[in-house]
């Protein structure tokens, strides 16, 4: 069975054995759209064929929510790649509900998938279901977000999350010319969802860059919502990455701390869904693009946010070409199926509380108004029409 799959991942098994493992799995599942062996034999035996058998593995893909544009793109792209490569797939979205995601994973385990690709909602809540996956020798790949507190996660593919944050911090430092200007500038920081392991990396990256200027007094936070240290980031976290929550938090800060005519100069937003809500609050409070609109960061280059960048309502977004992430995960799965070692490029950063998960980190890219066309249209992530260009 696909325990061979795991051994192969660790570099112990031969290609022939591995393919045999997948073949055996597929034949037990039955009912799939791909041909099953009919002669009762599998390539697991010692006289396994040199050439890989034309069997496919089945992959369960668990995505968090359809609410955010990026996850729709992520899921659709990965599913298409895997289908093209001949894998069976089951793609599920969980409406950002942890219990829904757990039951989707349970169903995938019961259906006999060989590999699970999981973009978790709560990275600490999947221990029991991933134990079931391990008991069924299923290989687990954490997608974009690390899964914590379990040994049953085999690989992690993501963008360099800390780098996302340093890009946002460095952008703010450059825009305000903090090396030369005394300020003080009014900064309102936000952080991502406390249950998402990525959020602390985004915050730490940004805070490591910004904190020295806070300590120097060049950046001040009238609302008092500047965490004392990286470890306190969750105190300003926005649960579920919700735009509406970010909007009302920003409204509260504006009403309570800026009512006397003081202006916000800069808002650190970890991603685009928060930036969207924050921009709405700024709009509502009468801020004007090109005049007193503050610097506002983001991440993902979601369409609505790119339109806001073009309209002067968001200053930048850290773009993560989710097609590259899908490509990388598809490569991982193909390596597993071929009995080859899975390529990773980081074996130090992502300790999930039980072990360091072998990871592949991709590079994010900063996009600003002047580079939207070149980067986002040039790469065909969007058409010019999508962006009204």
| Contact characters 58-77, ligand BGC, x per CB under 6 A | ----------x-x-------
β-strand partners of 187: 266
- The DSSP code sequence of 18-84 is HHHHHHHHHHHH---SSPPPSSS--TTSTT--SSPPS---EEEEEES-SSSHHHHHHHHHHHHHHHH
By CB under 6 A, the count of residues binding ligand BGC is 12
For residue 340, the tally of other CB atoms under 10 A from its CB is: 15
Nearer to ligand BGC, 42 or 315 (CB): 315
CA distance 253 to 68: 25
Distance of closest approach, residue 217 Cβ to ligand BGC, in angstroms = 31
- C-beta of residue 199 within 8 angstroms of C-beta of residue 179: no
β-strand partners of 63: 93
Among 55, 122, 144, 249, which residue interacts with ligand BGC (rule: CB under 6 A)? Answer: 144
Distance of closest approach, residue 159 Cβ to ligand BGC, in angstroms = 7
Closest chain position to ligand BGC (CB): 271
Nearer to ligand BGC, 219 or 325 (CB): 325
Distance of closest approach, residue 48 Cβ to ligand BGC, in angstroms = 40
Distance of closest approach, residue 102 Cβ to ligand BGC, in angstroms = 18
DSSP 286: T
Name residues contacting ligand BGC, limited to 313-342 (CB under 6 A).
320
β-strand partners of 90: 60
145 contacts ligand BGC (rule: CB under 6 A): yes
Q: How far apart are the first and last CA of the chain?
A: 53
CA distance 387 to 389: 5
Among 2, 271, 305, 352, which residue interacts with ligand BGC (rule: CB under 6 A)? Answer: 271
Give 363: exposed, middle or buried? Use CB within 10 Å, 0-12, 13-18, 19+.
Answer: exposed
CA distance 120 to 102: 9
Name residues contacting ligand BGC, limited to 164-203 (CB under 6 A).
196, 198
Distance of closest approach, residue 339 Cβ to ligand BGC, in angstroms = 31
Among 26, 168, 297, 299, which residue interacts with ligand BGC (rule: CB under 6 A)? Answer: 299
Distance of closest approach, residue 241 Cβ to ligand BGC, in angstroms = 4
241 contacts ligand BGC (rule: CB under 6 A): yes
Rg, Å, the chain Cα set: 23
Q: Contact residues for ligand BGC (CB under 6 A)? A: 68, 70, 144-145, 196, 198, 241, 271, 273, 299-300, 320
């Amino acid at each position: 069975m696909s325990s061979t799959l795991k051994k192969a991942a660790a570099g112990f098994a031969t290609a022939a054995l591995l393919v045999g493992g997948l073949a055996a799995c597929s034949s037990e599942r039955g009912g799939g759209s791909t041909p099953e062996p009919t002669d009762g034999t599998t390539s697991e035996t010692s006289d396994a064929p040199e050439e890989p058998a034309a069997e496919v593995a089945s992959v369960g893909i668990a995505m968090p929510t359809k609410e955010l544009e990026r996850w729709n793109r992520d899921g659709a792209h990965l599913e298409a790649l895997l289908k093209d490569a001949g894998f069976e797939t089951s793609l599920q979205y969980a409406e950002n509900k942890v219990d829904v995601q757990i039951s989707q994973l349970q169903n995938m385990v019961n259906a006999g998938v060989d590999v699970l690709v999981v973009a978790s909602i709560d990275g600490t809540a999947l221990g029991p279901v991933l134990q079931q996956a391990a008991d069924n020798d299923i290989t687990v790949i954490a997608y974009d977000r690390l899964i914590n507190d379990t040994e049953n996660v085999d690989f992690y593919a993501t963008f360099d999350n800390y780098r996302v944050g340093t890009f946002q911090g460095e952008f703010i430092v450059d825009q305000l010319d903090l090396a030369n200007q005394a300020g003080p500038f009014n900064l309102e920081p936000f952080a991502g969802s406390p249950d998402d392991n990525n959020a602390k990396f985004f915050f730490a990256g940004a805070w490591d860059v910004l904190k020295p200027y806070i300590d120097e007094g060049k950046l001040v936070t009238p609302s008092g919502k500047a965490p004392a240290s990286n470890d306190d980031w969750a105190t300003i976290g926005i649960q579920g990455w919700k735009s509406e929550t970010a909007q009302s938090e920003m409204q509260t800060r504006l009403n309570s701390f800026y009512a006397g005519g003081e202006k916000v100069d800069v808002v650190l937003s970890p991603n685009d869904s928060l930036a969207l809500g924050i921009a709405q609050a700024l709009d509502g409070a009468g801020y004007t693009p090109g005049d007193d609109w503050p610097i506002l960061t983001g991440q993902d280059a979601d369409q609505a946010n790119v339109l806001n960048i073009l309209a002067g309502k968001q200053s930048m977004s850290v773009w993560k070409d989710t097609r590259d992430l899908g490509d990388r995960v598809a490569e991982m799965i193909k390596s597993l199926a071929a009995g080859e070692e899975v390529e990773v490029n980081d074996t130090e950063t992502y300790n999930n509380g039980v072990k360091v998960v072998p990871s592949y980190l991709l590079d994010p890219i900063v996009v600003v108004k002047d580079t939207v066309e070149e980067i986002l249209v040039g790469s065909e992530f969007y058409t010019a029409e999508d962006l009204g260009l």
